[in-house]
Chain A
Amino acid sequence: MKILVPVKRVVDYNVKVRVKADQTGVETANVKMSMNPFDEIAVEEAVRLKEAGIATEVIAVSCGLLSCQETLRTALAIGADRAILVETDVELQPLAVAKLLAAVFKKESPDLVILGKQAIDDDSNQTGQMLGALLGRPQATFASKVVIEGGAAQVTREVDGGLETIKITLPAIVTTDLRLNEPRYVTLPNIMKAKKKPLENVKPADLGVDVTPRLKTLKVTEPPKRSAGVKVPDVATLVAKLKNEAKVI
């Protein structure tokens, strides 16, 4: 069984992002970049399936700037076998990414694609579902448990009321939630090994995909700032303030 894992390079989740003064976006120059945390979980899950003898090959793919190679090397260090960079400097929106991934899917014919549920920069939560629709294949989003058996995946999903379990026929799309697994730390020997693993470079045109953005960002602004209130000395003062000042109880 072959698994495809799309990984996105994003501003590290610990960075406090700043909106640019000209309102064109957020500051990304000289900011620490990392693999989207949900995608790390996706790579980890795929590698565990390989270690369990269920998967035979794990292919990481990233779409974007040449610097995404670094993110792919991280995926290879976690344990992916090879990587594909779809290189472009056009701003990629989820529909375009899904089309690129669909083209890669058709070349590679994987049995499973594991994506993150959401990229922590655009917070779109779309790509996996779109890929499923473009390919006419089923999806299990927000996965907290994945069991592969008999040409299907049984997936436990985190939903608003709790958990639900569904069964999807392979090939299928899974998107990860935070509690699916805890990604391993990459070790130095594995980082060294990753440097020797194959990394292919293709362009959107090679895949026959038009990636022109459909959404135009008119401006990016800072949300209204919430100012710190007061520290109250005791519970009696708190209750009085909630009653008389905030009037919420």
Chain B
Amino acid sequence: MTALVIAEHDNASIKVATNNTITAAAKCGGEVHVLVAGHNCKAAADAAAQIAGVTKVLLADAPQFADGLAENIAAQIVALAGAYSHILAPATAAGKNYLPRVAAVLDVQQVSEIVSVESPDTFVRPIYAGNALATVQSSDAKKVITVRTTGFDAAPSTGGSAAVESVTAAPDAGLSSFIGREVAKSERPELTAARIIVSGGRGMGSGENFKILEPLADKLGAAMGASRAAVDAGFVPNDWQVGQTGKIVAPQLYIAVGISGAIQHLAGMKDSKTIVAINKDPEAPIFSVADYGIVGDLFTIVPELVKELG
């Protein structure tokens, strides 16, 4: 029994979501191999080889993997699938994009976004925006799984010394092409990896007003997030969205500012260790999950908080 983890990386380094997925893979019972598919991605493969618990790294380095096109990545995974009992990817935008293609070709019903491994064929996953947890057993010969990273600790990035083996690249499917990317550059930590998150909602009133959250985030070394309403209103970029259909986060501290606490938002942050809510409506549902709430106008409370933090 051996598990194959598909690495999330930027060709130079490994994203931490991979480390969480490796922990889940190890719980499936056997050895853990990692596939790094990309272009000029040897550095990422070398980094993967250092991760504790990894016994082999497969390197598929070719131009057709440069931009993560689902058809090409999936074909590469399918080509390697024969040797593996479990194939796991992080439940990131990328993992969710290519892995179901692999499952369909292998005639396997994928298990999405697991938060726990009960046994090699039995997993727990949230359904209905996290309002229920289903324990499911797979009858397929191979298990194809996406892993919710907040459910598993990250495997340490050092301690391993796996061999890196180059594999034959699957050819370009020629069905899709990459045109461009608009990546919001930020000096702040990545939302899904941050220890502290400051999140704003519709209550912020405008994109301009989000600026008052910046000194707070600066003081705390926090990432910045948002509700869907704030993203839809164009206050902040789409990749800030936390929730059922945005990012799932579980930081040590989540500060919700002017967010009402709709189930779809809670679905993305209610596993945070400590939750703080700042809202002028004492009845806002966010207070039902907040460890500490302050009722009042965010435009006075946030600056006060920045001052108090010194």
Contacts and interface: CB of A to CB of B under 8 A. Distances in A.
Interface of A: 11, 13, 16-17, 19, 26, 93-96, 98, 117-118, 120-134, 137-142, 144, 154, 158-169, 172, 177-179, 213-223, 226, 228-232, 234-236, 238-239, 241-242, 246, 248-249
Given A216-B139, A231-B295, A232-B294, A133 B104 contact: yes
B133 A137 contact: no
Given A123-B112, A236-B308, A242-B276, A139 B101 contact: yes
A19 B132 contact: yes
Nearest to A127: B100
Interface in B115-165: 122, 126-140
A166 B69 contact: yes
Contact of A220 (B133, B184, B192, B287): B133
Given A159-B94, A162-B182, A123 B290 contact: no
27 contacts: A16-B131, A93-B109, A96-B109, A123-B128, A125-B100, A127-B100, A133-B102, A162-B183, A163-B181, A163-B182, A178-B228, A213-B109, A214-B139, A215-B109, A216-B136, A219-B134, A219-B135, A220-B133, A222-B133, A223-B132, A229-B275, A229-B291, A236-B308, A239-B305, A239-B308, A248-B252, A249-B196
Given A16-B131, A123-B113, A138-B175, 16 more contacts: A17-B128, A125-B113, A130-B100, A134-B105, A139-B97, A142-B97, A158-B238, A159-B93, A160-B247, A161-B184, A162-B237, A169-B176, A215-B136, A248-B273, A248-B274, A249-B196
A172 B107 CA distance: 20
A242 B108 contact: no
A13 B132 CA distance: 14
Contact of B274 (A17, A94, A164, A246): A246
Contact of A122 (B127, B133, B282): B127
B280 interface: no
B39 interface: no
**5 nearest interchain CB pairs?**
A214-B109, A129-B100, A229-B291, A138-B175, A130-B104
Contacts of B273: 246, 248
B173 interface: yes
A134 B101 CA distance: 8
B12 interface: no
Interface in B274-309: 274-276, 282, 287-295, 301, 304-305, 308-309
A241 B135 CA distance: 37
B276 A235 contact: no
A215 B111 contact: yes
Binding site secondary structure of chain A: mixed
B96 interface: yes
A214 B108 contact: yes
A55 B6 CA distance: 38
Interface residues of B, number: 88
A159 B239 contact: yes
A32 to B, nearest CB: 14
Contact of B96 (A141, A144, A230): A141
Contacts of B93: 142, 158-160
A141 B138 CA distance: 26
Contacts of B184: 161-162
B232 A179 contact: yes
A221 B179 contact: no
Nearest to B115: A223
A162 B292 contact: no
A35 B291 CA distance: 35
A221 B100 CA distance: 26
Contacts of B264: 13
Given A129-B101, A178-B232, A16 B274 contact: no
Interface string B27-49: 00000000000000000000000
A16 B263 CA distance: 8
A126 B145 CA distance: 11
Contact of B181 (A130, A164, A231): A164
Nearest to B288: A228
A220 B135 CA distance: 6
Contacts of B177: 166-167
Contacts of A13: 264
Contact of B71 (A118, A139, A217, A246): A139
B92 interface: yes
Contacts of A94: 100, 109-110
